[in-house]
Structures are given as C-alpha cells and as structure tokens.
Structure 1
Amino acid sequence: MESIPRLLVLAFGLCAGAAQAREAGDHHLQLGLVHVNTLDSSTPLRTQLRPSLLGGVLGIDSDFVSEGTAARVGSSETLLFIYSYYFTDRWSLKLEGGIPARFDIAGEGVVRPTGIAGSVISVDLGAPVNNPLASATQWSPVAMLQYSFGRPRDAVRPYVGVGLTYTWFTDVELDEDFDAALNDQFGRALALAAGKPGATRARADASPSFAPAFNAGIAMSLSERWNVSASVSYLMLSTESTIDILAADGARLARSRTALDLNPLAMSVLVGYRFRL
C-alpha cells in the first residue's frame, strides 16, 4: 500500500489544468484495487454439546464458554468495480461490486470443557499448526448515495457517501490441520459418549447480514472523460461464526459459535470513465 501516495501525487500532476464535468445524466464506471483491513473483535467461543455420558459421568456441562478464546480476521486485496449514475450535478447513486475478497481466520485460546475431562479433551485455537483456522470468501455488494463537493468542472472533487450492504460468505473451509485436531481431540470422544462411535467430521459457516456503509474520497480529472480517485470505505459488519462437529450419521455432536464484528476498512485506488447513453 506504500504505492498509493505515489499514485496520488502522480494523479495530481496529471490533472493540473484538466476539467471533467460530472453532471446530471452522466454514467461513471470505475475499476481499481482495494486493500481491506478488518477492525475486528469477537466474543469467546460458546460450545453446546449433545447430551451424552460426558455430562452424567464426567460432569461436563452441555453448554460452556471457553474464556480467553477469540477469532481474528486477516487482511485481503482484490479488484473493485463501481457504477455510478449522476441524477444531479452533485448527487449520484453508486453500486459497488467486484471480485469478492478471500479472508483467513485465525484463533487464540483453548476450547476446554468443564469437569475433569477438560484436561484431556481440548483444542488449542492458537497453536501455530492449527492456524489459520479457516478461510472464507466475503460477498459485500454496496448500494450508496454519494454527494460530490465543488462544481461540475472542478478538476478535483471530494465526495462522501452513505449506503447499505448485504454480506454473505461462501467457500467457508476449515484448515486441514485444524479440522484433524477437532475430530481427533474432540470429535471421537463426543461420538463415543453419544453412542455413535467412529469417524467424525467438522464444518464451518458464517451468517449473512445487512450493514450500513460509509465512504469518503477524492476524484481527480485526467481528461474530459477519464479520472482517478482514492477512497476509504467503512462497513459496520457483524456475523455469527459457527463450527459443528458431526457424527458419521450426520447427528450434530457439538456446536461452537462466536459473535464476530468484522468492521472492514477498505482503501481503494480507482480509474474511472464518464459517458452518456
């Protein structure tokens, strides 16, 4: 991301004397790079177990919280595509999409049941061999109302926007080592206690949600139709992440979940083209 300031300096130099009117009736296409950092936080993992001999014999609670556990989401880069329509000289409707970002999810702390079995049945979320715990693809199309400052033919026009996104996740995949640790250290004991001995499997998921989106940036003209811009967007995005351990017959033996505030901060550099139909 160190190249972004250099690109902006170059763009300011190129736009000197250029004027591009962005007026009512204009269509505007933009394509560029976006770097996403998550300002994330999460609650400790809460685990719910299928009723079994573990509770009655070993004193393990069927519902427990593993204090000190947390999930962390890494950064990502991808391509961003934006279409805007100016219905006045200052106001426009903006639709954002592009290639969905892929994120790695890391963990910390130990999931350990209550009772005497807690010293034997446990999974270390922070162990290097288990990280990243999982990865997921995030889809976050945004519809936004944008206001551009200045006059239509100003070479430089700052802008702000506010809108809404609906986010969902696909290809949520557990790391192979973490998957094996869950099944070997946790799943087999749960299956045996539930009267379903044998191999187990784990699966992960994340809930979809609506979230407000905020944007601020600056657009700089290169010619009558071409421009470059830089912007920062913030999404107040939350999700519930779950991991299930399933017996061979598909019965759910355990579910661990955490409320995860992602709050992604996206910084982008874009090239734009203005036209009329």
Structure 2
Amino acid sequence: MKRIYAAAVMSIAAVSAAHAQSAGQLVINAGWSHFSPQGSSDPLTVNALGQSAVMAGSGATISSGDTFGLTASYYVTDHISADTEMGVPPTWHLNGSGTLAGAGELGTARAWSPAILVNYHFGEPNARLRPYLGAGVTYTWFSNVKLSNAVSGGQILASPAVGTALEGPTSVSLSQSFAPVVNAGLTYNIDSHWSIGASIAYSWLTTKATLTTQSSVGTVTSTTKLKVNPIVTFLSVGYRF
C-alpha cells in the first residue's frame, strides 16, 4: 500500500511539473488583438509665405481596429520572462474632427509596432492559473500611407482669408518613435503544452504628421502631433516548447 501511495504521489508531481512555466522554456502565443486609441491631436499648424498660423479647432482621431497578434516568451527564470510582441500591422484610419470633421476620413496607414517587454509571473511554476505584470518599449513606423482626396489635393487648407491659394498636390510623412509600454495578463495552462491567455497593454505613443503641399504660392508645410496612447487587448492560444 505504501508503494502504491508513493507511486501516486510521484505521478501527481510529474503531472504538475509538466504544466510548469519554468526557466528555459519558450512559449508562442497567437490570437486576436484589438487596438483602441485613447488620445487626441494638436490643431494643424500651417506654414506658408514665411508665416505660421494655427488652424483653430482642427483635429483628428484614429479609429479602433483588429488584427492578428503573435508573441514569443522566453522564461529567464521561473517567474521572469522576456517577451517579443508582433503581428500583422493594423491599418490606422485617421478621421477629421472639429473644423475638419466635414472632411471625413483624412487618410490611412499601416502601423508597425513590435514591442519588447519583461514580465513577472506570479504563483508557482506548476500553477494552472498565473497572472503577470510587465513593462517594456515599442518602436513604431508606418507604411502604405494614403491620403484622402480632400487632403491629397490640399482642399483642407482653403479658407475665407486665402481662398484656394494654398491648395495643391500634397504628400505626408509620419515620424517614427519609441514609446514605453505597460501590460498585465493572465495565463491558464491546459496541459503540458497548450494554454490560453488574455492581456491588456497601454502605450504612451505619439507621432508627428507633416503635410507638404505644392501650391501656387510656393511650398506649404502643415504639421500636427497625434497622441495615440492605445489600449491593446490580446486573446490568444499558446504552445509551450
């Protein structure tokens, strides 16, 4: 009987260890990521004929979006993991607000924002349910930037004071930037390899948009700062190696 009891205890211990998230393990998570901007924008500043003027009341907002997310987590210790977060870059839809609300969608861009984080996982390595907290940094750049007709033709620069003199073919550039990230999450270990997870992250992300218009009176540059500050939620399935 003692031998049977000892064997049972050893079997339970082996099963528990199989569920462990411990030092040296690699976990890959894939799933659905939701991007929800919380920020705003500064009014558009127009530079023309050697003078600068703020377009009072102008603004822009970025729509929420969904995309495929992917993370790779390496456990440095039983409680600390180094994570790389990436995925299919979501498309940002920039919409006019305030005095630019009538222009509707101003443009779109794909936002690339991979992140590196360090997470601390609470509980024992063999626990089925493990919450975690972490922090890190993301780097954001853009591709496939497209302007709407109202912006690409410079029509948003028309005003009673100057008429259509500042209109013309317009291009745009969006600045690249680093931003800090904080996150929190929860992992449920199903068996020795599979798990499901949920996390939420916040980033203090800003970018500067510069419009360059070739008008009949010369080159016009218009700038604004977009405070994106997104909340990103991630629901995923993980596989542990």
The structure 2 residue matched to 1:205, chosen from 173, 177, 202, is: 173
| Alignment of structure 1 residues 137-152 onto 2, 5 Å | 137-152=110-125
The structure 1 residue matched to 2:188, chosen from 198, 220, 224, is: 220
The structure 2 residue matched to 1:261, chosen from 202, 206, 227, is: 227
Query: How far is the alpha carbon of 1:144 from its aligned partner?
Result: 0.5
Q: Name 1:164's counterpart in structure 2.
A: 137
Matched, 1:65 2:49: no
Query: Contact 1:183–1:245 at 8 Å: present in 2 too?
Result: no
| Aligned-partner residue type, residue 106 of structure 1 | N
| Aligned-partner residue type, residue 48 of structure 1 | N
The worse-fitting range, judged by mean Cα deviation, of 252-261 and 24-33 is 252-261
Q: Name 2:46's counterpart in structure 1.
A: 47
Cα deviations across residues 181-208 of structure 1 (Å, max 9, x unaligned)?
A: 62894795237xxxxxxxx311122111
C-alpha separation in 1, matches of 2:121 and 2:139:
24
Work out the number of aligned pairs and report it.
Answer: 223
Q: Name 1:189's counterpart in structure 2.
A: 165
The worse-fitting range, judged by mean Cα deviation, of 265-274 and 167-176 is 167-176
Report the secondary structure of 2:54's partner residue. strand
Query: Contact 1:164–1:212 at 8 Å: present in 2 too?
Result: yes
| Alignment of structure 1 residues 1-277 onto 2, 5 Å | 20-51=19-50, 62-110=51-99, 125-127=100-102, 130-180=103-153, 182=155, 185=158, 189-190=165-166, 200-247=168-215, 253-275=219-241
Query: How far is the alpha carbon of 1:252 from its aligned partner?
Result: 5.8
Misfit runs of 4+, over 4 Å? 183-188
Query: How far is the alpha carbon of 1:87 from its aligned partner?
Result: 1.1
Shift of the 177–63 alpha-carbon distance from structure 1 to 2, 3 Å rule, reads closer
C-alpha separation in 2, matches of 1:204 and 1:233:
29
C-alpha separation in 1, matches of 2:169 and 2:156:
6
Q: Name 2:7's counterpart in structure 1.
A: none
Cα deviations across residues 127-185 of structure 1 (Å, max 9, x unaligned)?
A: 1xx21111111111001111100001101000111001111111221112443462894
| Aligned-partner residue type, residue 49 of structure 2 | R
| Aligned-partner residue type, residue 272 of structure 1 | G
Shift of the 157–49 alpha-carbon distance from structure 1 to 2, 3 Å rule, reads same
Report the secondary structure of 1:154's partner residue. coil
| Aligned-partner residue type, residue 104 of structure 2 | N
C-alpha separation in 2, matches of 1:75 and 1:18:
41
Cα RMSD for the two superposed structures = 2.2
C-alpha separation in 2, matches of 1:169 and 1:217:
27
Shift of the 152–105 alpha-carbon distance from structure 1 to 2, 3 Å rule, reads same
C-alpha separation in 1, matches of 2:156 and 2:224:
19
- Compute the TM-score of the two structures, normalised by the length of structure 2: 0.86
What residue ranges of structure 1 are gaps of 5+ in the alignment?
1-16, 52-61, 111-124, 192-199
C-alpha separation in 2, matches of 1:80 and 1:252:
44
More helix as a share of residues: 1
Report the secondary structure of 1:70's partner residue. strand
User: Percent identity of the aligned residues?
Assistant: 35
